Chain A
Amino acid sequence: MEQLLLKRINVPGGLDIDIAMAHGAYGALRISFGMRPVDVIDEVKRSGLRGRGGAGFPTGVKWGFAAMDPKMPKYLICNADEGEPGTFKDRIILERDPHLLIEGMIIAGYAIGAERGYIYLRGEYPAAADILERAITQAYEKGLLGNNIIGSGVTFDLSLHRGAGAYICGEETSLIESLEGKRGQPRIRPPFPANAGAWGKPTVVNNVETLANVPGIMALGSEAYSKLGVEGSTGTKIFCVSGAVNRPGAYELPLGTTLREIIYTHAGGIRGGGKLKAVIPGGASTPMLTAEHIDVKMDYSSLLSTGSMLGSGAVIVMDDSTCMVHATAVIIRFFEHESCGKCTPCREGTGWLHQIYSRMLRGEGGESDIDVLLGICRKMKGKCFCPLGEGAIQPVLSSIKYFREEYERCIRERGCGGEQCKGMMQGSKHHMTNKFQAPSTKSQTLRTLDF
């Protein structure tokens, strides 16, 4: 199996730039600097590389937009906010092969004409912060960052910028607001960052894993790269497997590998001999799947056709001991906590959803609560300012779709009083929710509350 992304993570001493270079780091720089920037962009376009941060936008196309914009200066930002629950792939690159990312950023900066780059790192990754600082310093010492990189005349400066605990800052316009020293709340689009991003200048925001693919593309050539994976989803992907499996971990595999192979061959199957019940294939904001979907190919379009998404590639596995009402409640609690508060449907909707889940788990659910949940989702759908709110309703809709009878049982039997549920029962801590109570169990009330 061809490894492009995790090939150096086990090299002893590989954090040191000399050792990393002895294993090929920065080898793709000369190749790239030998080409015109537009040709580098074309090469990335031909490779078929799509963003690994969740949205799957073609990387070369995004670069082309920023490169064509005449405004100067331009900025390159690496999105290392990695907040999607279940995702830890970027951390592995950051902590174990930071030079791969730095090399990818230098090439990307050259291609789009950016002489300044930032790595926006989530605040919860203190170890990665130290490692990156050291890697950046070493790269400067070797003349791989700064002016006239390896005698090419190319300039690229790079700094680390640490976030401080806000999932929404992974959304690229919020990230830019946060980088500028503001609250991390999303901006209206258009204008897109490629034209008016950081400080109003053309800005490319790419995920860590996306940028880490770039050296491999330049070294292999787009043709060889595009043979990896499947049509429309080229290359390899790091799948992060967590939950009820024997070997949770990060596995780099070609896009299009089946869910079955990921769970049973690589992650060692279901823990404790249990049965597979549900899978979240792409991080907490992607719709759940069930054991029936085990043969789905893990690529952008195959997952769309199941009604879910590749997202960040975080595969969260649940076995038959999992209560789906509780599992969904945990996700909703997360979204309520992380809602940035800018728009009403998401700020209030996630709080209401959380309150209703809490009362169901407390044994106070009413017969109409499933309809109330669905009604709130309907009122949020298409009305949220950014995709966080739209993503928040996915676990609710999908778990009700596939596991409705568990909701009915939870309500009928007045909760299960399980140990698990206790932490969830106190309900919402949202600062606004004292004022804005969720609709009562009588769905009558909800109808009067149309947005």
Chain B
Amino acid sequence: MLNDEARERIRLAALRYPEPRAALLPALHIAQKEAGYVSEDAMRFIAGQLNVPESEVFGTATFYSLIRRSSSGRHVISICHNLPCTLLGAEPLIGHLKSRLGVDEGEVTPDGRFSYQRIECIGRCDGAPAMLVDDDYHGDLTPEKIDGILEKYA
């Protein structure tokens, strides 16, 4: 279920468009911000609030790769594996990250701190290889640098 503040933000978002349905993506973002992922309950609620069929909300949510439908680590690491990053060593780095975290892509570390996913180009190729941790960007990665970054997220 969404809290009152999230509902209010969705209501305000809908005012920016000629049709309330356009606030669907903003609403999914708001729901994800609140819970870390978008639950079926949240989707049902959004369907009601924006007056969109539930099936359409589910269909739309599943189309977008940044909308998560299951719980993630407290911090989500998105590491780029597109060409410019690969040319500068993304693949061995992803191997390093995986062994540091000890989990596979999409799984949550036992302490609940992290999960990671591969991601396509994040527009930071000038600092390749690059990754996002939550909303923070980190570039010019090396194995040591990744270790240092992981320390910073509790």
Interface residues of A (CB under 8 A from B): 73, 82-88, 90-91, 122-127, 159, 161-167, 178-184, 199, 240-244, 248-250, 280, 284, 314, 316, 318, 322, 326-327, 330-331, 334, 337-338, 340, 419-420, 422-424
When the two chains form their complex, are residues A184 and B66 in contact, meaning their CB atoms are under 8 A apart? no
When the two chains form their complex, are residues B64 and A181 in contact, meaning their CB atoms are under 8 A apart? no
When the two chains form their complex, are residues A164 and B28 in contact, meaning their CB atoms are under 8 A apart? yes
When the two chains form their complex, are residues B121 and A181 in contact, meaning their CB atoms are under 8 A apart? no
When the two chains form their complex, are residues B120 and A161 in contact, meaning their CB atoms are under 8 A apart? no
Q: How far is the CA of A166 from the CA of B66 in the complex (A)?
A: 8
When the two chains form their complex, are residues B128 and A248 in contact, meaning their CB atoms are under 8 A apart? yes
Q: Which of B52, B59, B84, B121 contacts A183 (CB 8 A)?
A: B59
User: Of residues 59 to 110 in B, which have CB atoms within 8 Å of A's CB atoms?
Assistant: 59-60, 63-67, 78, 81-84, 86-88, 91-92, 94-95
Taking each of A127, A165, A179, A322, which has the highest tally of chain B beta carbons within 10 Å of its own beta carbon?
A165
Q: How far is the CA of A199 from the CA of B135 in the complex (A)?
A: 32
Q: Pick 20 A–B contacts, CB within 8 A, sort by A.
A: A83-B120, A86-B82, A86-B125, A87-B125, A88-B125, A124-B132, A126-B132, A164-B67, A181-B21, A248-B128, A284-B82, A318-B87, A322-B87, A326-B86, A327-B87, A337-B65, A338-B120, A419-B92, A419-B95, A422-B91
When the two chains form their complex, are residues A243 and B123 in contact, meaning their CB atoms are under 8 A apart? no
- A-B pairs under 8 A by CB, number: 154
Q: How far is the CA of A178 from the CA of B60 in the complex (A)?
A: 9
Please list the 6 inter-chain residue pairs (A to B) with the smallest Cβ-Cβ separation, ordered nearest first: A165-B66, A181-B24, A164-B64, A242-B125, A242-B84, A126-B135
When the two chains form their complex, are residues A330 and B83 in contact, meaning their CB atoms are under 8 A apart? yes
* B19 located at the interface, meaning its Cβ lies under 8 Å from any Cβ of chain A in the complex: yes
When the two chains form their complex, are residues B126 and A250 in contact, meaning their CB atoms are under 8 A apart? yes
Instruction: Find chain B residues with CB under 8 A from A330 CB.
Output: 81-83, 86
Instruction: Find chain A residues with CB under 8 A from B88 CB.
Output: 243-244
Q: Which of B95, B123, B125, B132 contacts A248 (CB 8 A)?
A: B125
* B141 located at the interface, meaning its Cβ lies under 8 Å from any Cβ of chain A in the complex: no
Q: Considering the complex, give the chain A residue whose CB is closest to the CB of B66.
A: A165
Assuming A162-B26, A316-B84, is B94 touching A85 (CB within 8 A)? no
Q: Considering the complex, give the chain B residue whose CB is closest to the CB of A89.
A: B123
When the two chains form their complex, are residues A164 and B125 in contact, meaning their CB atoms are under 8 A apart? no
Q: How far is the CA of A314 from the CA of B121 in the complex (A)?
A: 12
When the two chains form their complex, are residues A167 and B25 in contact, meaning their CB atoms are under 8 A apart? no
Q: Considering the complex, give the chain A residue whose CB is closest to the CB of B94.
A: A423
* B43 located at the interface, meaning its Cβ lies under 8 Å from any Cβ of chain A in the complex: no
A284 to chain B, nearest CB (A): 6
Interface residues of B (CB under 8 A from A): 16, 18-19, 21-26, 28-29, 50, 52, 56, 59-60, 63-67, 78, 81-84, 86-88, 91-92, 94-95, 119-128, 132, 135, 137
Assuming A126-B135, A163-B64, A243-B88, is B83 touching A85 (CB within 8 A)? yes
When the two chains form their complex, are residues B123 and A124 in contact, meaning their CB atoms are under 8 A apart? yes
Q: How far is the CA of A331 from the CA of B24 in the complex (A)?
A: 31
A347 to chain B, nearest CB (A): 13
Instruction: Find chain B residues with CB under 8 A from A334 CB.
Output: 82-83, 120-121
Assuming A166-B64, A183-B63, A243-B88, is B123 touching A87 (CB within 8 A)? yes
Q: How far is the CA of A322 from the CA of B83 in the complex (A)?
A: 11
Q: Which of A88, A164, A243 contacts B65 (CB 8 A)?
A: A164
Q: Considering the complex, give the chain B residue whose CB is closest to the CB of A328.
A: B83
A325 to chain B, nearest CB (A): 13
Q: Which of A126, A178, A316, A337 contacts B120 (CB 8 A)?
A: A337
Instruction: Find chain B residues with CB under 8 A from A338 CB.
Output: 120
Q: Considering the complex, give the chain A residue whose CB is closest to the CB of B127.
A: A248
When the two chains form their complex, are residues A182 and B123 in contact, meaning their CB atoms are under 8 A apart? no
When the two chains form their complex, are residues A162 and B29 in contact, meaning their CB atoms are under 8 A apart? yes
When the two chains form their complex, are residues A164 and B123 in contact, meaning their CB atoms are under 8 A apart? no
B27 to chain A, nearest CB (A): 9
Instruction: Find chain A residues with CB under 8 A from B19 CB.
Output: 180-181, 199
Instruction: Find chain A residues with CB under 8 A from B52 CB.
Output: 181
When the two chains form their complex, are residues A127 and B137 in contact, meaning their CB atoms are under 8 A apart? yes
Q: How far is the CA of A87 from the CA of B121 in the complex (A)?
A: 8
Q: Which of A87, A124, A241 contacts B66 (CB 8 A)?
A: A124
Instruction: Find chain B residues with CB under 8 A from A179 CB.
Output: 22
Q: Considering the complex, give the chain A residue whose CB is closest to the CB of B23.
A: A181
When the two chains form their complex, are residues B86 and A248 in contact, meaning their CB atoms are under 8 A apart? no
When the two chains form their complex, are residues B125 and A180 in contact, meaning their CB atoms are under 8 A apart? no
A161 to chain B, nearest CB (A): 7
Assuming A179-B22, A422-B91, is B81 touching A124 (CB within 8 A)? no
Q: How far is the CA of A205 from the CA of B105 in the complex (A)?
A: 36
Instruction: Find chain A residues with CB under 8 A from B59 CB.
Output: 183
When the two chains form their complex, are residues A423 and B126 in contact, meaning their CB atoms are under 8 A apart? no
Q: How far is the CA of A199 from the CA of B17 in the complex (A)?
A: 10
Q: Which of B24, B64, B120, B126 contacts A242 (CB 8 A)?
A: B126
B69 to chain A, nearest CB (A): 12
Assuming A178-B25, A420-B91, is B81 touching A85 (CB within 8 A)? no
Q: Considering the complex, give the chain A residue whose CB is closest to the CB of B134.
A: A126
Q: A124-B123, A419-B92, A423-B95 are in contact. List 7 more A-B contacts (CB 8 A).
A: A86-B125, A166-B65, A167-B120, A181-B52, A182-B60, A243-B88, A337-B65
Q: Considering the complex, give the chain B residue whose CB is closest to the CB of A335.
A: B120
